Amino acid sequence: MSGSYVSGLKCRLCGKHYPKEALNFCTDDFGPLEVAYNYDMVAAALSRGAIEARPRTMWRYRELLPVDGEPTVGRHVGCTPLIRADRLARALGVSELYIKNDAVNHPSLSFKDRVVAVALSKAVELGFQTVGCASTGNLAGSVAANAAAAGLDAYVLIPDGLEQGKVLGATIYGAKVIAIEGTYDHVNRLCSQIAFRFGWGFVNVNLRPFYAEGSKSMGFEIAEDLGWRAPDHVVAPMAGGSLIGKIYKAFKEFEQLGLLDGPVTARMFGAQATGCNPITNTVKTAATKVKPVRNPDTIAKSLAIGDPADGFFASQLIRQTGGWSEDVDDDAIVDAMRLLAETEGVWAETAGGVTVAVAQKLIEQGKIDRNGSTVLCITGNGLKTQEALIGKIARPVVIKPTMEAFEALVEAEAPALAAAGA
């Protein structure tokens, strides 16, 4: 495979070109760098048939992912189920609803495996032996798991006070997990300094341009699984604000390459928690700058980024596509986690509750058309945020090990059933 599908990196502000290296900002204006592709070459190599003939992993779209050689990390990531969610659709009052279920992504049960697969494959190409990340939880587990499998040394920095499932889910892989007394934004700043000082590959700092491209695979999979079309609406959770933009970029790249039936008319909707809603505020006020949230306070800890790196681009995209953004409080998040579980058998983490609750709100507001097709992006697994549910859902009923005790229970809870069984 040729390495020339990627021509280099490009500043999103001034357009200046850079070579393929571990650098995330323009040295002229500090603008974020993005991967640039030779789309003519990609078009010559990529067709529906070529994609369909490949294994069901995110690497079936490899020409549109910024790895030059064979991917060496995360080779089994992606191609999670796109579920037609008719029971949830009825509950929300829409006709065509899908769940993109990255709660079951391999290996660490979140969409972060997509970005880490790309970032660490690139880290290996660039010769890094030590990698790291600043994380609100899911990224920690993904970097730790994928680095372990690749034989890389990993330093994972998190804010102190994360859910136990997220902390254990990084430590078990042997990564050096360091909790910082502060918010995610403190953690992120420290990681930038560490990456520079020690020359390590931090997936969401100096490897960020490559890392961020991995999220496109979620959009590619959605479009392919819908029969080579983009949906009418996408609802995506927003932390740093990168995912929503990359899903849209994926649709547009497929369109540009002639892989879709019809033009992309998708409207993009962002979901945040009320306790940390900087991007939603930017969308609603049409502000030209994101005003950071200083002290995020929400059970959706994975979305608690007060100063989102891609927040401004996300807010622009949402407005340009005719979408909108909303936020929901902690009670609404828990209710929506239960609704998703009870209607579709999908246990999402708190961020998934944010996505479902915001979708519900946008449908009620008329911002999402009840007759269009809607995809909800579920990005992480409920096993990792169990604290959010403690005391909020029913506990098991305890009875004696006798038929009399069970009959008494059924009699009390469902007299009709008890009568039928008598």
Least CB distance from residue 11 to Zn ion, whole Å? 3
Using the rule CB under 5 A, give the single segment among 28-36, 116-124, 173-181, 405-413 that binds Zn ion: 28-36
Using the rule CB under 5 A, give the single segment among 25-33, 116-124, 140-148, 374-382 that binds Zn ion: 25-33
Least CB distance from residue 29 to Zn ion, whole Å? 4
Which CB, 28 or 331, lies closer to Zn ion?
28
Which CB, 28 or 160, lies closer to Zn ion?
28
CA 269 to chain centre: 14
Least CB distance from residue 16 to Zn ion, whole Å? 5
Reference 221, options 89, 35, 387, 61; nearest CA is: 61
Least CB distance from residue 22 to Zn ion, whole Å? 17
- For the four alpha carbons of 112, 113, 119 and 120, in that order, the dihedral sign comes to positive
Using the rule CB under 5 A, give the single segment among 2-10, 21-29, 50-58, 143-151 that binds Zn ion: 21-29
The tokens of 136 are what?
């609100």
Which CB, 23 or 179, lies closer to Zn ion?
23
Using the rule CB under 5 A, give the single segment among 22-30, 200-208, 282-290, 377-385 that binds Zn ion: 22-30
Which CB, 26 or 363, lies closer to Zn ion?
26
Size of the site for Zn ion (CB under 5 A): 8
Q: Fill in the per-residue mask, 88 to 127: x = in contact with Zn ion (CB under 5 A), - = not in contact.
A: ----------------------------------------
Cβ count near 130 (within 10 Å): 16
Distances (CA, A) of 339 to 96, 142, 235, 348, 358: 17, 27, 16, 10, 13
Least CB distance from residue 33 to Zn ion, whole Å? 8
Which CB, 17 or 291, lies closer to Zn ion?
17
> For the chain, how far is it from start to end, CA to CA, in angstroms?
70
Least CB distance from residue 286 to Zn ion, whole Å? 25
DSSP state of 348: B
Least CB distance from residue 101 to Zn ion, whole Å? 38
Report whether 235 contacts 271 (CB < 8 A): yes
For position 244 contacting Zn ion by CB under 5 A, the verdict is no
Distances (CA, A) of 317 to 97, 105, 181, 191, 359: 22, 26, 34, 28, 18
Q: Which of residues 372-401 bind Zn ion (CB under 5 A)?
A: none
Report whether 19 contacts 48 (CB < 8 A): no
For position 17 contacting Zn ion by CB under 5 A, the verdict is no
Counting every residue written for the chain, the total comes to 422
For position 31 contacting Zn ion by CB under 5 A, the verdict is yes
- Can you spell out the DSSP letters for 101-119? EGGG-TTTSBTHHHHHHHH
Using the rule CB under 5 A, give the single segment among 30-38, 226-234, 268-276, 332-340 that binds Zn ion: 30-38
Which CB, 7 or 72, lies closer to Zn ion?
7
- For the four alpha carbons of 106, 110, 114 and 117, in that order, the dihedral sign comes to negative
Least CB distance from residue 17 to Zn ion, whole Å? 10
Reference 216, options 410, 34, 4; nearest CA is: 34
Q: Say how far apart CA 175 and CA 156 lie, in whole Å.
A: 7
Using the rule CB under 5 A, give the single segment among 31-39, 131-139, 300-308, 314-322 that binds Zn ion: 31-39
Q: Say how far apart CA 374 and CA 97 lie, in whole Å.
A: 5
For position 29 contacting Zn ion by CB under 5 A, the verdict is yes
For position 26 contacting Zn ion by CB under 5 A, the verdict is yes
Which CB, 9 or 377, lies closer to Zn ion?
9
Residue pointed to by tokens 């994360």:
162
Least CB distance from residue 12 to Zn ion, whole Å? 8
Extract the runs of DSSP E, i.e. beta strands, from 85-232.
96-101, 130-134, 153-159, 176-180, 201-202
The tokens of 284 are what?
């609603």
Q: Say how far apart CA 335 and CA 156 lie, in whole Å.
A: 32
For position 14 contacting Zn ion by CB under 5 A, the verdict is yes
Residues found near Zn ion in the complex (CB under 5 A): 11, 13-14, 16, 26, 28-29, 31
